[in-house]
Amino acid sequence: MNATPAMSIAAAHVVGHFINGEGVADDNRPIPVTNPATGQVTKHVAMATKATVEDAIAAAEAAFPAWRNTRPAKRAKVMFRFKALLEEHAEEIVAALTNEHGKVLDDAMGEFVRGIEVVDYACGIPQLLKGEHTKNVGPNIDSWSEFQPLGVVAGITPFNFPAMVPMWMFPMAIACGNTFVLKPSEKDPTAPMLIAQLFKEAGLPDGVYNVVNGDKEAVDTLLEDPRVQAISFVGSTPIAEYIYATGTKNGKRVQALGGAKNHAVVMPDADLDNTVNALMGAAYGSCGERCMAISVAVCVGDETADTVVSKLKSELQDLKVGCGTDTSNNMGPLVTKVHHDKVRSYVDLGVEEGAELVVDGRDLVVDGHEDGFFLGGCLFDKVTPDMRIYQEEIFGPVLCVVRAESQEHAMQLIDNHEYGNGTCIFTRDGEAARYFADNIQVGMVGINVPLPVPVATHSFGGWKRSLFGDLFAYGPDSIRFYTRRKTITQRWPSGGVREKAQFSFPSNS
């Protein structure tokens, strides 16, 4: 974290926290938040101390008993009002996303709407929480299973979806009857704070939802505090692994979603014009800063590869890169200067490693935004699995084309990769597509769908080193993650009958 001089911070706005239904001012270790399109520091964000995080946990713990006992139908009413308020304030929140993340406004709206869809799903909580009941499991004995909330749960989220990823977590956790502490990304903190205020306006009792801004100190407090029952994390794989190891060691339930290297397989029979358009959006949309971005196109056969590369090259000439507030642009800047330089250095590395740089976006300058963190779309051909640009997550507008001999060869590459978040296949052959979906070792699969991000009624997650834990995010898995099953067996014996002690194990024999 870069420390900044106290003088400049005093004048600037410092984003604090939202604890127990109130905004909490804080100027502890403030770090700068930058508009990536201009390179200018627009505000600072406080880094919560251990004590501040403990205040948030205490507020959540105090709010839990009453919220747990609030009828699901009443919780749903709060969710319906919350959803309406989110829609009413969409433009304000989306503008904050673009100003701090850099993504173009339409893309920011897309993320926000996908987040609202999870709130929509949470509105159905009375139906979703219905348990299981069996009458007469034994003589005059009935049995049922119900799903009880865990208590205080926490979420830790990445910079790339500052609204949507928190909404993958807290609406379902809270609808299930838990209370929540969110630790959002320090790079774009405004949207989560606006959303917390709207949740309060919707009628959510104080303390049920809390937001603490911070860094490792805040995260470690959440991981170590025994009052926190479960942790949902989304971010890079090294941190996901750390969160999973530390959280589970401390007895918590943990789901930790990590990084990705998503491959698109292009079969020779695919509609190549549509495939190339799909690849353009999936590789360069949001400047490649999506965990479901396509960063590798595996073309089956040299003829397919030659055609795809030449069409991508031509499309890249028309890719409009600029400030996200200009709606004619396709792609905005990278989130920070540090990230920009890291992505750029991967392009240098690819050249050193011997990949063929077909389109070089490194020297792009956006007029009027010379200090912005822009990088043009980059395209590498003839990338091989031994190269670091193939193995590592770049998280920028860099698409690597790998040439494969057959569908089997393409699938082996994907299965051998350490990540298994998303993948897709472009083909007109139903048998090839079905074989791919059935056998590929990846959590989310698209068939002629480049970004197979599940809708809110399904669950989101990867395999291999893209997810540590057993349950996916949102959808049906979120009910399981944010509740504990309890099975109750009940008997009302007939009155007046004296019963003998039974020493054999009860059975229906």
Q: Across the beta sheet with 228-234, what order do the strands follow?
A: 22-24, 17-19, 209-211, 179-183, 152-156, 228-234, 253-257, 467-468
- In the bound state with ligand NAD, the residue whose beta carbon lies nearer, of 167 and 291, is 291
Q: Which of 26, 107, 186, 188 binds ligand NAD (CB under 6 A)?
A: 186
- In the bound state with ligand NAD, the residue whose beta carbon lies nearer, of 16 and 149, is 16
Q: Decide if 208 contacts 179 (C-beta within 8 A).
A: yes
Q: Which of 34, 185, 210, 286 binds ligand NAD (CB under 6 A)?
A: 185
Tell me how far, at minimum, the Cβ of 233 lies from ligand NAD, in Å: 7
Concatenating the DSSP letter of every residue in 231-278 gives EEEES-HHHHHHHHHHHHHTT-EEEEE----EEEEE-TTS-HHHHHHH
Tell me how far, at minimum, the Cβ of 335 lies from ligand NAD, in Å: 8
Residue of 336, 347, 456, 288 lying closest to 41 (CA atoms): 336
Q: Looking at residues 8 to 47 of the shown chain, list those that interact with ligand NAD (rule: CB under 6 A).
A: none
Q: Which of 104, 105, 239, 379 binds ligand NAD (CB under 6 A)?
A: 239
Q: Decide if 441 contacts 464 (C-beta within 8 A).
A: yes
Tell me how far, at minimum, the Cβ of 158 lies from ligand NAD, in Å: 3
Lookup: tokens for 76: 């749903």
181/18 Cα distance (integer angstroms): 9
- In the bound state with ligand NAD, the residue whose beta carbon lies nearer, of 159 and 426, is 159
CA dihedral for 461, 336, 241, 486, sign (positive or negative)? negative
Tell me how far, at minimum, the Cβ of 375 lies from ligand NAD, in Å: 16
Tell me how far, at minimum, the Cβ of 165 lies from ligand NAD, in Å: 6
Q: Looking at residues 208 to 237 of the shown chain, list those that interact with ligand NAD (rule: CB under 6 A).
A: 215-216, 219, 234-236
- In the bound state with ligand NAD, the residue whose beta carbon lies nearer, of 236 and 277, is 236
Tell me how far, at minimum, the Cβ of 238 lies from ligand NAD, in Å: 7
Lookup: tokens for 321: 């890169």
Distances (CA, A) of 382 to 106, 152, 281, 305, 387: 33, 50, 21, 9, 10
- In the bound state with ligand NAD, the residue whose beta carbon lies nearer, of 79 and 467, is 467
Residue of 23, 190, 167, 193 lying closest to 95 (CA atoms): 190
- In the bound state with ligand NAD, the residue whose beta carbon lies nearer, of 216 and 428, is 216
Q: Looking at residues 344 to 403 of the shown chain, list those that interact with ligand NAD (rule: CB under 6 A).
A: 393, 395
Tell me how far, at minimum, the Cβ of 339 lies from ligand NAD, in Å: 8
Task: Find the farthest-apart pair of alpha carbons in the chain and give their distance in angstroms, rounded.
Answer: 91
- In the bound state with ligand NAD, the residue whose beta carbon lies nearer, of 98 and 221, is 221
- In the bound state with ligand NAD, the residue whose beta carbon lies nearer, of 67 and 419, is 419
Q: Looking at residues 146 to 165 of the shown chain, list those that interact with ligand NAD (rule: CB under 6 A).
A: 156-161, 165
**Judged by CB under 6 A, how many residues of this single chain contact ligand NAD?**
27
Concatenating the DSSP letter of every residue in 451-501 gives --PPPTTS-B--EETTEESS--BSHHHHHHHTEEEEEEEEE-PPTT-----
Taking CB positions, which residue lies at the least distance from ligand NAD?
Answer: 235
CB neighbour burial string for 351-377, b if at least 16 within 10 angstroms, e if fewer: eebebebbbebeeeebeebeebbbbbb
**What's the 3-state SS for 125-175?**
HHHHCCCEEEEEEECCEEEEEEEEECCEEEEECCCCCCCHHHHHHHHHHHH
Q: Which of 150, 291, 308, 433 binds ligand NAD (CB under 6 A)?
A: 291
Q: Can 287 be counted among the known catalytic residues?
A: no
Query: Is 462 near ligand NAD (CB under 6 A)?
Result: yes
From the candidates 176, 287, 291, 299, give the one annotated as an active-site residue: 291
Tell me how far, at minimum, the Cβ of 349 lies from ligand NAD, in Å: 18
What size, in residues, is the chain? Answer: 509
- In the bound state with ligand NAD, the residue whose beta carbon lies nearer, of 178 and 466, is 466
Q: Decide if 180 contacts 205 (C-beta within 8 A).
A: no
Q: Looking at residues 257 to 276 of the shown chain, list those that interact with ligand NAD (rule: CB under 6 A).
A: 257-260
Using only C-alpha atoms, the chain has a radius of gyration, in whole angstroms, of: 25
190/307 Cα distance (integer angstroms): 44
Q: Looking at residues 93 to 132 of the shown chain, list those that interact with ligand NAD (rule: CB under 6 A).
A: none
Q: Looking at residues 418 to 447 of the shown chain, list those that interact with ligand NAD (rule: CB under 6 A).
A: 421
Tell me how far, at minimum, the Cβ of 25 lies from ligand NAD, in Å: 21
Pick left, alpha or beta for residue 464 (phi over 0 → left; psi -120 to 50 → alpha; otherwise beta): left
Binding region for ligand NAD (CB under 6 A) out of 71-79, 253-261, 307-315, 321-329: 253-261
**Contacting positions for ligand NAD (CB under 6 A):** 156-161, 165, 183, 185-186, 215-216, 219, 234-236, 239, 257-260, 291, 393, 395, 421, 462, 466
Catalytic residue list: 291
